[in-house]
Amino acid sequence: MGVYIHKSILELQDLNFNEKLVLAYFFANKENLKDDNVVIANRLHLTKTNVRQIIFKLKAKKYIEVVGVYSCRKIKILKDIKMKFEKATFNGFLLDDDILILDFCTSKKFILAEIRSLIYSKNGRCTVSNLYLSSLLNLSVCFVKKTITELEKSGILKRDLKNVKGKTERTIILNLNNPIATDEAPAEDEKEVKEEAPKQQYDDEVLAVFESFPKRPMMTVLKIEEQKKLCLPILQSKSKEELDFIKFVISFNSKNNESWKAGFMPYMYKFLCVDKEKYFNEAVKLEFDKFKNKPKVNANLQLLNLQLERDLFTFFSKIEENVWELSDVDILEEFKNRYILSYVKFNDDDFNKMALQMIKEYRPTALNL
């Protein structure tokens, strides 16, 4: 059966490969959009969690609308994407079931599907170049070259190289019945993005920005991991200046937004995508510009201060009153027993000095030691 990926969907720049795959599935089933996440996951060889996250992203990007509750949910397509078919030109390719079931990331499946499409349309011969595939699928040439090499090693395809008038001509031969076709990398576009193109990478800083966003009280580990999977790819796509602005807006709201102080902050994905106009407005931009012109301070110390404020507030909200009879140093040791693993990346002297100062400020006036 498979799913047809039309070039109109392939050319959408704001969607990753998994999102394009699911959107193409919705267009292919326009007359019956009541399939639940399990059915879609089984059809596209994704996990139920993948599908749920993708539908959430497509909804946030205004491609679809979800009507009704889960038990009787229906997907409504919002964008009118014209799917014209023209002779003697590239219109798209079919992602057949035998490719969908392979344990490859979706970008590799797209490469395989296009190679097969060319073989069918070129009298059984595919002499396509890595540059063509790179341009068509918006991938780096390096990633395409690496993928072709890996697929050949796994036996999925074979390259036949011949010298034709002084130039090397490559013909690609497919063997999709090969039983050892596997991919060691997880089939998640959020991870394949790192391989696809040489984007600016600020891995440590990106993670620090995510960690600095206040977590809702009683937020489960599962929910935190879900937010991390949604937000890290978004943060990794930002420039250094955009990351600085995001950090500032988080800090600004943590200090000035009363609902955030009370624990009613949004989830980070909603903050970054759904309600971004509310938080990243001109007034805050002016505050950020003033902040940029101030003398520079140590970014790690700023992050340490923000993290300590959050964790100490949580810590003091849970302790018994008699704990204040202990010295500041003893209270700090008790705090370390519970939270120290979150602070291993910071300097010990900076951590101790800042934490002790905050403990003094939190200590009730009548119990100053």
What is the three-state SS of 216-230? CCCCCHHHHHHHHHH
User: What residues form DSSP beta bridges with 4?
Assistant: 94
| HSE (side-chain half, CA atoms, 13 Å) at 297 | 9
- Give residue 116's pLDDT: 86
- Give residue 191's pLDDT: 43
- State pLDDT tens for residues 320-338: 777 788 888 989 988 888 8
Q: Are 303 and 347 in contact (CB under 8 A)?
A: no
- State pLDDT tens for residues 281-313: 999 999 888 888 776 667 788 889 999 999 998
Radius of gyration from C-alpha coordinates of the chain: 26
Q: Are 255 and 284 in contact (CB under 8 A)?
A: no
**Contacts with 69 (C-beta within 8 Å, 6 or more apart), sequence order:** none
State the residue for tokens 């047809």: 4
- Rounded Cα distance, 153 and 261, in Å: 55
Q: To the nearest whole percent, how much of the chain has pLDDT over 70?
A: 88
**Contacts with 130 (C-beta within 8 Å, 6 or more apart), sequence order:** 141, 144, 145, 148
- Give residue 71's pLDDT: 64
Residues with pLDDT less than 50, the chain: 179-182, 184-202
| HSE (side-chain half, CA atoms, 13 Å) at 197 | 13
Q: Kindly write down the DSSP assignment for every residue of 6-59, as one continuous string.
A: EHHHHT-TT--HHHHHHHHHHHHTTT-----HHHHHHHHT--HHHHHHHHHHHH
